[in-house]
Chains A and B, each alone.
Chain A
């Protein structure tokens, strides 16, 4: 037992260091590359003056990519732990559709709606959808994992139909809404950073704090209750945490799919099921994935951009299919 734990711990630190190193490298690259070439001297110059392209556009965007990646990945890890279903993810249980619907309504029906309130509205939408899903899944004092997932699917596809209805009805102006719905970090600036940062800073330590509870929940209903844990309360709290984390990232970045699904998978594959290791590594690799996806999306065919959400889906879905079909 003891040596195994030592190995896991050492492995954790190696992975952590490697992830952090890669994240720094990609962060630096992502500051450097983009539609406008910025030389190194310019970068240093801008850094001293505190203004310029990099400081005003690329840096906040990078920070948002990091924060959203962390949020989505940790939300995914938590919801997979709570539902004990390796295929659950925040984007599969209707949160994104809820936020998206509110955005579609505001962007399409009220054209001169002040743009800076969109994140707040979208957060409310995501939270409402999450609440509806829990309500539908709630029965006899408990939320069964399978019911949660299925009601999420149903609510998600219903809301998606409403979004499509709006898009079709207001088709000529639909492109802007479509970009947002597909998850993009385009034109996100410092105020957006301020909107998501508190949620990340509060939510991820909280998730880490609950990691022991999450590990216990894996044991199954009866044994957990035998250990004296109040299962329903723990589940409810953790799900609220998922809504907060995922809702805030939908609010600033739209629907960025598959990060919450594949990152926890990958991390569990690398380090094993202990949530004390899974949560921090998920945060790190989620940030790494999104920073990379955003950078590739910007670099591939400038000045046009491929939304980061599409790239994460392109990277994520084949991996997911591989998990589904080939393994075991």
Chain B
């Protein structure tokens, strides 16, 4: 349907437009409603005087947050691409499939078991571990050929439900920490600092770029297991590697900002509508689109009930569900 080859110039134009959108969103998120910022001393921001409150807000509160949103958007979008390609399933997403809830469970468990002051050190490994655990379940499910998209979604849902119940159970037993953790679980970017950016930039972004190497393999895998095997692809190995990469990406994103769902679901589909099913173009486009989407969602989250912030995970979930429904209805045959 949308599988026609786009010409190179039109692809570049698309990339350019998305880039412009990203810059515009970045500008808004940097300068929107900064206290004490006005046109008169606009230029003070750029001449190195960082002692004013406005400059501090822009460069040390707004900028890290926007950068983190962009980086994690890209990370989640690429993870969604990998998951969808690997399971050959349109509806795969870290949220739908149980990876996010696995990470939440282990973070909550970690926070309750080890009562540390410096939570970020603890969150990172436990989120990784949890998302790996969730990922292993998905991997086991995707191995079996009889898993149609519907069954995979249902299975993922049951897995998430299980993890979710455990998490709520733990939370109920320790009401004191409840509100902090609840807020984290809704997915948020508000506390972003430069360490987070460093982790995301040097730890996760290389993995994002690496996953572009998978693109030709994913293209082959899209033909079906047997065809791919016949073409000489080591299907199981590719799946395992893709799953590993996706788990690293999602685990990192969850550790930094809490579970943010549906970015991985929406972005690859939008990218597919724009550029066709070729993963070679799909993955770079997803990086850009994901950055756009999460940055915009975070902006909406900040503006919606200003000055109270809405966690970005809720915004993405609320936009993601209609999208999910649209994907479902678009499939006319009812096979999905």
- Could you list which residues of chain A lie within 8 angstroms of chain B, going by C-beta atoms? 85, 87-88, 91-92, 136, 139, 144, 146-147, 149-151, 153-155, 157-158, 160-162, 164-165, 167-169, 171-172, 174-175, 178-179, 181-182, 257-258, 261, 304, 306-307, 309-310, 313-314, 316-317, 320-321, 324-325
Contacts and interface: CB of A to CB of B under 8 A. Distances in A.
Given A87-B154, A158-B317, A306-B169, A313 B162 contact: yes
The 10 closest A-B pairs by CB, nearest first: A317-B162, A313-B165, A161-B317, A158-B321, A171-B179, A310-B169, A87-B154, A154-B324, A144-B334, A150-B328
Interface in B176-230: 178-179, 182-183, 185-186
A139 B57 CA distance: 52
Most buried by A among B161, B186, B310: B161
A160 B317 contact: yes
Most buried by B among A147, A179, A181: A147
A155 B153 CA distance: 14
B119 interface: no
A175 B155 CA distance: 29
Contacts of B91: 150
Contacts of B95: 157
B165 A88 contact: no
Given A158-B318, A168-B183, A182 B169 contact: yes
Given A146-B336, A168-B314, A258-B161, A178 B325 contact: no
A153 B157 contact: yes
A211 to B, nearest CB: 24
Most buried by A among B162, B165, B168, B318: B165
B154 A149 contact: yes
25 contacts: A87-B151, A87-B155, A144-B334, A147-B334, A150-B150, A150-B153, A151-B325, A153-B96, A154-B324, A157-B96, A157-B320, A158-B318, A160-B317, A168-B183, A169-B310, A179-B172, A257-B161, A258-B161, A309-B165, A314-B169, A316-B162, A321-B137, A321-B162, A324-B141, A324-B158
Contact of B172 (A151, A154, A182): A182
Contacts of B21: none
Contacts of B329: 136, 139, 147
Nearest to B261: A157
B305 to A, nearest CB: 8
B317 A174 contact: no
Contacts of B166: 310, 313-314
A171 to B, nearest CB: 4
The dominant DSSP class at the B interface is helix
B293 to A, nearest CB: 16
A82 to B, nearest CB: 15
A309 B157 CA distance: 16
Contacts of B159: 317, 321
Contacts of B155: 87, 324
B140 A325 contact: yes
A144 B336 CA distance: 10
Contacts of B168: 178, 181-182, 310
A92 B158 contact: yes
B318 A85 contact: no
Contacts of B161: 91-92, 257-258, 313, 317
A182 B162 CA distance: 12
A307 B154 CA distance: 24
B94 interface: no
A155 B141 CA distance: 24
A114 B274 CA distance: 52
A172 B180 CA distance: 10
B165 A314 contact: yes
Contacts of A161: 313-314, 317-318, 321
Contacts of A313: 161-162, 165-166
A221 B270 CA distance: 35
B210 to A, nearest CB: 30
A87 B158 contact: yes
B12 interface: no
Given A87-B155, A181-B168, A257-B165, 5 more contacts: A85-B151, A91-B161, A136-B329, A174-B178, A325-B140
